[in-house]
Homo-oligomer: A and B are copies of this chain.
């Protein structure tokens, strides 16, 4: 590499690192706001966040960034770069090309709009008043449709939104994936509904001392290999994980006094996200590649640890005695098998975030159908509540009593995060497919869990997925690991076996 290219590369790296510094500062402030920042300081803090976000955005579309990308993309230069620098140039260019197309005043107005919309949504949900939220949602959809025109798109307009969360994903692929899943899932859910085996879950809803719940969450985190020297566990209204850098990946959970598993599975879910981010290669630190490659792959890891490990029978053979020890008088006469059945009960319901592992995918498909229609113009915002209720009836057999438990339940749309929902189901599909390869190489997962060999599981995932951060695309990851593109059959196979067993369907 010539000295001048070396110098150019260095300057670019410094520039990118500075941007990433703003990102970490912002992430610390968001974390802080969600884990106990005092109420009266929130307004001033929002302005601080606004100032730094604007600065970071400016840097991402500055003429300086434009020059870096132009010079580094020249074939004679680009081919001299190593893999990390190449990917870095590509990622920054993708971001630059998107952002530069949106006029700054439109972007600014959109940021203000979504920020206001989130407050309005909160109140509208509380009051179950869709009309209150409707004008905001209409503006947000309109703005996104305008952005899509500016960005351009191939195939369906919605594709360009999908690509933001799952690079390379399209409606064409998703239509097929979801059709396959739905074809097997709907009859499976119906069969479960007719099964005579209805797990008893009443014992999960007693009073459970929160201090003990916390102790148990911390204990399980240690067992799973979460590194407490590179993270911490706090409390927040909605559990989340935030990777400031691989040495500082924090998670939160929420302890409910009348629900012994909510905090625990929240913890394990976020632990999955955190194991991913704690184990990204050091060489990616200080770059935008130091994160998960997509929301789908990220969710595959949270769901792998939460559902395939944490909701497995062998996991509870191992840890149920510990839980019983913490609550000596709460599980009398409840066998580990009854406990296992109870934490895996299937029940079509209205609220996505409370849904079981199986019906969860149906909640996602409804949102996917709606988003697709909003962006090809075949569904108006005003008609959303009716369409929502109709779909819930069709897919899940339940109808919301009001919009608060219906169309208003999720915050995503208020924040403009269209295209995000499919990640959750993609995560389920990815995790089952990855698990299948893992078992070919390491042996049966249930056996590994039975023996507490989480370290072997983690090491395998670090090697195959975590260390790469965003250096590989989701498709490169899944094909690299499993030898084929995303295939929903693994998920269907896994769900069929697991729930067939619990509900005696065979």
How many angstroms between the C-alpha atoms of A55 and B32 in the bound complex? 22
A35-72 CB contacts (< 8 Å) to partner B: 36-45, 47-48, 51-52, 55
Give every chain B residue within 8 A of A36 (Cβ-Cβ): 232
Least Cβ–Cβ distance between A48 and chain B, in angstroms: 4
A25 at the interface (CB under 8 A from B): yes
Question: Given contacts A38-B248, A228-B38, A230-B40, is CB(A25)–CB(B25) below 8 Å?
Answer: yes
Question: Given contacts A21-B52, A29-B25, is CB(A247)–CB(B47) below 8 Å?
Answer: no
Give every chain B residue within 8 A of A246 (Cβ-Cβ): 40
Least Cβ–Cβ distance between A324 and chain B, in angstroms: 26
Give every chain B residue within 8 A of A45 (Cβ-Cβ): 24, 244-245, 248
Give every chain B residue within 8 A of A248 (Cβ-Cβ): 37-38, 40-41, 44-45
Question: Given contacts A43-B247, A244-B45, A286-B47, is CB(A232)–CB(B38) below 8 Å?
Answer: yes
Give every chain B residue within 8 A of A52 (Cβ-Cβ): 21-22, 25
Give every chain B residue within 8 A of A250 (Cβ-Cβ): 38
Judged by DSSP, the binding face of A is: helix
Task: From the candidates B42, B51, B228, B285, name the one contacting A21 in the complex (CB within 8 A).
Answer: B51
Give every chain B residue within 8 A of A25 (Cβ-Cβ): 25-26, 28-29, 48, 52
How many angstroms between the C-alpha atoms of A52 and B29 in the bound complex? 14
A246-273 CB contacts (< 8 Å) to partner B: 246-248, 250
Contact B32 A48 (CB under 8 A): no
A367 at the interface (CB under 8 A from B): no
A317 at the interface (CB under 8 A from B): no
Give every chain B residue within 8 A of A51 (Cβ-Cβ): 17-18, 21-22
Give every chain B residue within 8 A of A29 (Cβ-Cβ): 25, 28
Contact A227 B40 (CB under 8 A): yes
Give every chain B residue within 8 A of A43 (Cβ-Cβ): 247
Task: From the candidates B17, B41, B231, name the one contacting A244 in the complex (CB within 8 A).
Answer: B41
Give every chain B residue within 8 A of A231 (Cβ-Cβ): 38
A279-304 vs B, CB cutoff 8 Å, 1 = contact: the mask equals 00000011000000000000000000
Give every chain B residue within 8 A of A28 (Cβ-Cβ): 25, 28-29, 32
Contact A247 B48 (CB under 8 A): no
Contact B32 A47 (CB under 8 A): no
Contact B47 A21 (CB under 8 A): yes
How many angstroms between the C-alpha atoms of A26 and B25 in the bound complex? 8
Contact B24 A245 (CB under 8 A): no
Give every chain B residue within 8 A of A48 (Cβ-Cβ): 21, 24-25
How many angstroms between the C-alpha atoms of A17 and B51 in the bound complex? 9
Give every chain B residue within 8 A of A227 (Cβ-Cβ): 40
17 additional contacts (CB under 8 A) given A21-B47, A28-B28, A40-B227: A17-B47, A21-B51, A22-B52, A24-B48, A25-B25, A25-B48, A28-B29, A36-B232, A38-B229, A38-B230, A38-B232, A38-B248, A41-B248, A42-B247, A44-B247, A45-B245, A47-B286
